[in-house]
Amino acid sequence: MRTLDDLLSEGVRGRRVLVRADLNVPLDGERITDDGRVRASLPTIRALADAGARVVVTAHLGRPKGEPKSEFSLAPVARRLGELLGAEVAFATDLVGPSAKSTVDGLADGGVALLENVRFDARETSKDDAERGALADELAALVAGENGAAGAFVSDGFGVVHRKQASVYDVAKRLPHYAGGLVLAEVDVLRRLTENPARPYVVVLGGAKVSDKLGVIANLLTKVDRLVIGGGMAYTFLKAQGHEVGSSLLQEDQLDTVRGFLAAAEERGVELVLPVDVLATTAFAADAEHQVVPADAIPADRMGLDIGPESQKLFAAKVSDARTVFWNGPMGVFEFEAFAGGTRAVAQALVDGDAFSVVGGGDSAAAVRQLGLPEDGFSHISTGGGASLEFLEGKELPGVAVLED
């Protein structure tokens, strides 16, 4: 696999380089509420610009379903990227149309341009190889140099490498391609989790639905020493054990699967840790009145929105002696301060411990920042929750495989 360093050593001054970044940030109107992914993209973009490349960045935001929608425009991201780079970032108001062509043509050596949301074009996510290929051809043409000289492609959006999409997979087949620093770092970390991890190896999973993590749970049960389950998915596990979970989030159709997980964990000697108490309320609201109840006896009219104080102590203890920890998914509705305690307890235990600790992107990474915890307190904070989970599930990541020559 050729890397960004290989490209830089070839010399890039005056050369157009297409960078697939992951700039899928949360927005409140035009205000970015968490710029972690923008900051994570900076090293690769800055290295290319400093070396004199003409950098053309493509990325997505949200799920506009193949048509332009103003609320999913990357214009606010272009402004923030420019602020962080300390230089103006030219913004193309289309993807491969007149604005994109004139914007790219106007770049000077060391200049950076951001194309409009790649998912405004339905071909990006098409299942049809020819449709995706046609868009990839147009993206590749944007970075062709004088007299048809080939540009280059740098894949640096780890959050999308599990998708076989035009700007991730197909364009790499059309241009000299290189793995960016972020993709390399993420893959290196994930390989460390799957190839001889230091033990005890503990995985903490949370989030809303068991169904989102079926494959990764099945695979991890063959690899980990301890599996800690919190968040909304814990209630399906509790119900599978025969406990009353009230009106808590429950996936009835997954109960048999979860019973299979419980049996597999026992058979393989994997310690499976569930909440022993929860914060239960009658309403899903930030200011909802709540009480601590046993996890095996949640009142019929109440729902659990966070793990309780005893569970917080238990979960913290179960990660504190680990040598390797992977954490994906909050322990409760951390967006509501009253129900952020469980997520904070797990995160703080990782900060205080000395394990090789990996935060698996998505809501977990957002929680770290929202709760004000030091990002350098973790060994690695992934930018791609879905990609991380698919890697740990044992699946091939198309956007990584296509880079391997």
Q: Annotation-wise, does 373 bind a ligand?
A: no
Q: Annotation-wise, does 364 bind a ligand?
A: yes
Q: Annotation-wise, does 163 bind a ligand?
A: yes
| Cis amide leading into 200 (omega within 30) | yes
Q: Annotation-wise, does 361 bind a ligand?
A: yes
Q: Annotation-wise, does 126 bind a ligand?
A: no
Cβ contact 295:311 at 8 Å? yes
Q: Annotation-wise, does 114 bind a ligand?
A: no
User: What's 232-280 look like in SS3?
Assistant: CCHHHHHHHCCCEECCCCCCHHHHHHHHHHHHHHHHHCCEEECCCEEEE
DSSP-derived letter for residue 96 is S
Taking only Cα atoms into account, the Rg of the chain, rounded to an integer number of angstroms, comes to 23
29 is catalytic: no
Q: Annotation-wise, does 24 bind a ligand?
A: yes
Amino acid of residue 180 = G
Q: Annotation-wise, does 219 bind a ligand?
A: no
Say how far apart CA 370 and CA 199 lie, in whole Å.
30
Q: Annotation-wise, does 304 bind a ligand?
A: yes
Q: Annotation-wise, does 199 bind a ligand?
A: no
Q: Annotation-wise, does 62 bind a ligand?
A: yes
197 Cβ neighbours under 8 A, 6+ residues apart = 223, 323, 324, 356
Q: Annotation-wise, does 102 bind a ligand?
A: no
Catalytic residue among 16, 20, 37, 239: 37
Q: Annotation-wise, does 335 bind a ligand?
A: yes
207 is catalytic: no
Picking from 353, 349, 387, the residue whose alpha carbon sits closest to that of residue 368 is 349
CA distances from 5 to 52, 153, 185, 220, 386 (A): 14, 13, 13, 34, 27
Q: Annotation-wise, does 213 bind a ligand?
A: yes
Q: Annotation-wise, does 106 bind a ligand?
A: no
260 is catalytic: no
Catalytic residue among 101, 209, 323, 395: 209
362 is catalytic: yes
What angle do the packed helices 362-370 and 385-393 form, to 10 degrees? Answer: 130
Cβ contact 180:2 at 8 Å? no
Say how far apart CA 193 and CA 204 lie, in whole Å.
13
Token reading at 52: 């004199």
Catalytic residue among 36, 231, 362, 399: 362
Catalytic residue among 14, 52, 386, 394: 386
Say how far apart CA 237 and CA 242 lie, in whole Å.
9
Annotated binding-site residues for (2R)-3-phosphoglycerate read 37, 119, 163
Annotated binding-site residues for substrate read 22-24, 37, 60-63, 119, 163
Annotated binding-site residues read 22-24, 37, 60-63, 119, 163, 213, 304, 335, 361-364
Annotated binding-site residues for ATP read 213, 304, 335, 361-364
Catalytic (active-site) positions: 37, 209, 362, 386
